[in-house]
A and B are shown apart, each in its own frame.
Chain A
Amino acid sequence: DQQVKQNSPSLSVQEGRISILNCDYTNSMFDYFLWYKKYPAEGPTFLISISSIKDKNEDGRFTVFLNKSAKHLSLHIVPSQPGDSAVYFCAARRNQAGTALIFGKGTTLSVSS
């Protein structure tokens, strides 16, 4: 019973174009969503987050959109750069402080120059 789903295992984008990574969730108790980026043999690095009371959060080249009615969120990277090539994980948190993050299986983004 995967509560957080990233249905695209991989995505290829050209440098300078937009990358859109998608994530769906099933648990309506989730109140906070996060995106992490992971390079091989390293730990996940926090990128950006969004509270369930918002529908958009922006930080530089990264924007996360949340559609609560569809239980869907997406991460937009504009413009994409070769250094963005990594595995991106979507994660969700239940509405209690300090509880576990539930991760999707990740999407591997490849940005070609």
Chain B
Amino acid sequence: NAGVMQNPRHLVRRRGQEARLRCSPMKGHSHVYWYRQLPEEGLKFMVYLQKENIIDESGMPKERFSAEFPKEGPSILRIQQVVRGDSAAYFCASSPPTGTYEQYFGPGTRLTVT
């Protein structure tokens, strides 16, 4: 039973480029969450999605960041016109539709903006 998959594991972008981070939830999980971890910090919630719906994006920066979870395929976190401050580890988590509050995390994507 595969866990949460994220790719790429490492991503290097120059300032002004776009970054696309992908997340495939665990089998049977229909809830996806994105978190960001800055150095020496805990994980900070960004967005919560279900298939084709954004449920809570209260942690998402208002500009340049967007997320989707289409009917088919992985969830995508997109960062346009990246800046050095976007350098961080981005983690995706998933949970089943009912019955548990635990979220299961992927290995993360480490974004470096040069």
CB of B42 within 8 A of CB of A105, answer yes
Q: Which residues of A contact B44 (CB under 8 A)?
A: 103
Interface of B is mostly: strand
CB of A49 within 8 A of CB of B42, answer no
Interface residue tally for chain B (C-beta within 8 Å): 29
A41 vs B95: C-alpha distance when bound (angstroms): 22
Residue contacts A-B, CB under 8 angstroms, 9 given = A43-B105, A43-B107, A49-B101, A97-B101, A100-B45, A100-B48, A100-B56, A103-B44, A105-B41
Q: Which residues of A contact B45 (CB under 8 A)?
A: 100-102
- A60 in the interface, Cβ–Cβ < 8 Å? no
Q: Which residues of B contact A100 (CB under 8 A)?
A: 33, 45, 48, 56, 58-59
A-B contacts at CB below 8 angstroms, number:
62
Q: Which residues of A contact B77 (CB under 8 A)?
A: none
1/0 per residue B33-53: CB within 8 Å of A?
A: 101000011111100100000
Indicate the size class of the contact surface on chain A: 20 to 34
Q: Which residue of A lies closest to B42 (CB)?
A: A103
A64 vs B94: C-alpha distance when bound (angstroms): 23
Q: Which residues of B contact A65 (CB under 8 A)?
A: none
Q: Which residue of A lies closest to B41 (CB)?
A: A105
